[in-house]
A and B are shown apart, each in its own frame.
Chain A
Amino acid sequence: MSMGGGGMAAELALLAPEIAVLLTAVGALVFEMLRLPKVSLPFTVIGLLVAAALTVPLLGTETAVFGGTFRVDPLSQWAKLALLPTTALVTVLARTEVRDTDREGTVYSLLSFTALGALALAGAGDVMFLMLGVLLSSLGSFALVAYPRDDRATEAAMKFFVFGSVTGAVMTFGLTYWFGATGSTLLGEMERLEGAPLAAAFGLVAVVVGLGYKASLVPFHFWAPDAYDGAPVSVAAFLSVVPKVGAIFAIAQVVRDLPADTGWPPVVAALAALSMTYGNLAALVQENVVRLLAYSSIAQSGYFLLGVVAVGKSDLALPALVVFAAAYAAMNLGAFAIVALAGRTLGEFTGLGRGNPAAGAAMVVFLISLVGIPPLGGFVGKFLLFGAAMDAGLIWLAVVAILNSVLSLGVYLRIIVPMYRRPKGAAAPATLIGAVWTMALVATVGVGLAAQVLLGRLP
């Protein structure tokens, strides 16, 4: 890993997108303090989109800044390009739920801060950045979940918080072993762990616990369904995409430099198989669509790990992670947007497809894209993930993933089937939500048909 070239100014230029997100978060807060929530929202959306746009000229750069502690590489760049527009859409979606509440602007600000934490994770080149990213994204998330201030939200936030504190503590403790064994906090130096199997194992457990919690991998997922269900739908959508993708990319950054004999490949493969299978099985029995999508997102984290486990062994690993992240962000956000439109229980989806054909068709697209049916984004992503796993010699894992895809069809059809029964009443038109799902739909189909736009810019 090369140390960042040039002076401080050059390094800051490489961080322009992150700085823009930070300024956006602060600005949103300032407008809130000035009692101008109406300005806060457009400011946040524009700020996040500008930050995404600032990433585009950086594409193709592969370096690290601040003495190698933060990486400006394809993973961190594509995390920005996928997650910042997603966060912008989430803020719009959040507006429909928090408008005219007394601290509306803080929601936009917290969303931006949390997104910044996810970006810190996605580019982490140092264990301190892992800690920083986990803390930054967790603190914002706790507050967002608790925002409605009712019993459900408070309970959800409390569970989320307790779980987060414990896993965070475990992570901090375990990582000290890596520091002790290598004398460095840089991930790039972790190849020196080769001679210290015990310390390597301790640190690995710590990273798996800390990041596995953020990415809601089984068995660190228990908080997810409760937190999603207690939180506003927009916050659930956010939690299921932004911090999760950040954490997955962070795991990829860690294992990139970790020697294989620390035993990480079988650990990651086992987590993948567990998360996929448990997530889908549990989703199969949910009656609440938010909880169903929560378990489904646990399963989707498992698919992600097929790309992580192939890091360093297959050229398909990086494209797979990037494409699936983009597709997942679009389709999952889209599905949550339709939930915001229709309601949280399966019963409320009855007749949606007949009462509101466009939204119904969009939901079908999001859900079958989550299954991985072509030619949608989810298909291209999953197919690259399967290819990466096979290329890395893990055919059994690809087979498990395929069986899970079939299982997941059963899950998502539970939403689709009632949508085409007789409607109970016409769905209320909602322009803002409509804008969100339309953008998500364009992205879901677009990632599928125009995957080259992403793949052509990867090394």
Chain B
Amino acid sequence: MLPIVSITLFLPLLGAALLMAPKDASPRTAHAAGIITSGLTLTGAVWMWARGVADAGFSQVEEFAWIPSIGVAYRVGVDGISLPLVLMTAILFFVAFVFSARIGERARSYVALALLLETASIGTFVALDAILFYVFFEVSLVSMYFMIAGWGYEGRQRAALMFFLYTLLGSLPLLLAILGLYLGSDPNTFDMRELVADPPLSGLAATLALIAMLVTFFVKIPVFPLHTWLPAAHVEAPTAGSVILAGVMLKFGTYGLIRFALQMTPDAFEQLAVAVLAFGVFSALYGAFAALAQTDLKRLVAYTSVNHMGYVVVGVAVAAAATGAEVRALALDGAVLQMVSHGVVTGALFLLVGMIQDRAHTREMDEFGGLLKVAPALGWSFVLAAFASLGLPGLAHFPAEFQIFLGTLRVYPVAVVVVLGIAVTAGLYLKAIQSAFLGEVPERWREMKDLNARELLSAAPLLALTVLIGVAPFLALDVIHRTTQALLP
């Protein structure tokens, strides 16, 4: 059978290598290479989706020996949790490449870095070997650092440095946890399937490993109080960088929370579930209130990410504490779908904010007004994405958040206060829409152009998906549920 997972995984890397091979390449060639490569990768991801997943365990597994002396192997495959994330990743990278096609400065390096980042992102989701996972996890960090440092806005060096240090500090505890799992397993292995099927640690060792993993993933998600790198990185990152950072890379944290923390140290997680839940609830509320205080549109969207990812943490914590398989599956279905929805919706929002910034060179919402009149396509797109983000039924976030809250109600009724977050996000988006898109148009923006073909082509697929997931969530949930219904023994 064709090793389609590996092909999808390494296509971007191959594209990057081919792009760097000739002595020179024009920006046009570079962007064409990026769009074609990510398009092919997307085709591969769709193919993987068509092959689907089995009812239990991992499907489409591809494996060969790498460092057999210490039990490290190249192992990739998907299940119902990772497959939707892979497809989402491929879509987001494709639209990001389409959107970036206007970058002229060192376009070749930019495209090559972004392609490297695409391989690292897909690799993080499909890796079935703990070391392989860690490799991709860290490579994504390096490429994102160079992307922010090389193509960001004014304060980029500082933001990039903070991002790199913060997340490296965050990710190294995971290495310790992985080593702990390895040393605890018998025979010693890094095979994630083995570690999931038979969690090797117990007692204090499991708790310590879990805490190390929580540190790593909380930084990545990010969860209050480890979120401080996020607004800085987003504000300075180039638009496509923000899309990938929020849309894809934050999911490394929540994906790891399920794959590593929940599946490899289930008993310890069950004991600490209340604490994790508390972090999730607080983080969701904090994100919402912090977003409410922002006047910079990009910072606003960045903080709503903290809010939305907080719901995912709540969902996972509820699943860990749930005793019934049905409730657990409900909460996890919600959590995984929330990751996909957030990727699509926030990706669209960052793109649209980027388009506004390209036109106006400012993101302060108070400086705008009546944009719906001068740029209706841009304006209505933003309104649609904002409504999705605040959880309007019929759009992507609703089915996800609904299931998370339903699960929470069954296990920790008190924690449903987190619903307050929805009211706050509704308020802040309405405020933003009112001040930037409604009302009188200030003189300086009367000539503002509406979306061009490139911008439309990059935003439209995400908006279409937002609606599609909202009205037909079962398209994704069927795949997700296959795995979540039998996730823990």
Q: Which A residues lie at the B interface, using CB under 8 A? A: 316, 319, 357, 368, 371, 373-375, 379-380, 383-384, 386-387, 390-391, 395, 398-399, 402-403, 405-406, 409-410, 413, 417, 420, 451-452, 455-456, 458
Contacts and interface: CB of A to CB of B under 8 A. Distances in A.
Interface in B1-19: none
B176 A399 contact: yes
Contacts of A403: 169
Contact of B69 (A374, A387, A402, A458): A458
Contact of A413 (B70, B109, B164, B173): B164
Given A374-B134, A386-B175, A387-B183, A413 B67 contact: no
Interface in B28-74: 65-70
B149 interface: yes
Nearest to B176: A398
A420 B208 CA distance: 40
Contact of A406 (B68, B168, B176): B168
B135 A390 contact: no
A452 B175 contact: no
Contacts of A371: 168
Contacts, number: 76
A386 B139 contact: no
B180 interface: yes
B67 A452 contact: yes
B172 A384 contact: no
A405 B168 contact: yes
B69 A390 contact: no
A405 B161 CA distance: 15
Interface centre among A379, A405, A406, A420, by most chain B C-beta atoms within 10 angstroms, is A406
B69 A386 contact: no
Given A386-B176, A387-B179, A398-B176, A374 B135 contact: yes
A402 B142 contact: no
B179 A383 contact: yes
Interface centre among B135, B165, B180 (most CB of A within 10 A): B135
Nearest to B141: A373
Nearest to A449: B66
B169 A406 contact: yes
Contact of B142 (A357, A373, A456): A373
Nearest to A401: B172
A412 to B, nearest CB: 11
A455 B175 CA distance: 20
Interface in B53-99: 65-70
Pick the most buried of B70, B135, B176: most chain A CB atoms within 10 A of its CB: B70
A391 B149 CA distance: 38
B149 A319 contact: no
A405 B167 CA distance: 12
Contacts of B65: 452
B175 A402 contact: yes
A405 B135 CA distance: 16
A375 B139 contact: yes
Contact of B67 (A399, A405, A451): A451
A415 to B, nearest CB: 13
A244 B175 CA distance: 27
Contacts of B164: 409, 413
Contact of A390 (B141, B172, B183): B183
Contacts of B131: 374, 383
Nearest to B161: A413
Contacts of B69: 319, 452, 455-456, 458
A109 B23 CA distance: 40
19 contacts: A316-B70, A319-B69, A374-B131, A374-B134, A379-B135, A379-B138, A380-B67, A383-B131, A387-B183, A395-B208, A398-B179, A402-B175, A403-B169, A406-B168, A451-B67, A452-B66, A455-B69, A455-B70, A456-B69
Contacts of B161: 410, 413, 417
Interface string B126-138: 0000010011001
B182 interface: yes
Nearest to B208: A395
Contacts of A375: 135, 139
A456 B68 contact: yes
B150 interface: yes
B157 interface: yes
Contacts of A395: 176, 208
A451 B65 CA distance: 12
Contacts of A379: 135, 138
Interface in B376-425: none
A130 B172 CA distance: 37
Contact of B172 (A402, A410, A413, A456): A402
A380 to B, nearest CB: 8
B168 A368 contact: no
Given A417-B149, A455-B69, A456-B68, A405 B172 contact: yes
B157 A417 contact: yes
B67 A406 contact: no
A320 to B, nearest CB: 10
Contact of B138 (A374, A398, A402): A374
Given A374-B135, A406-B169, A417-B157, A390 B67 contact: no
A420 B149 contact: yes
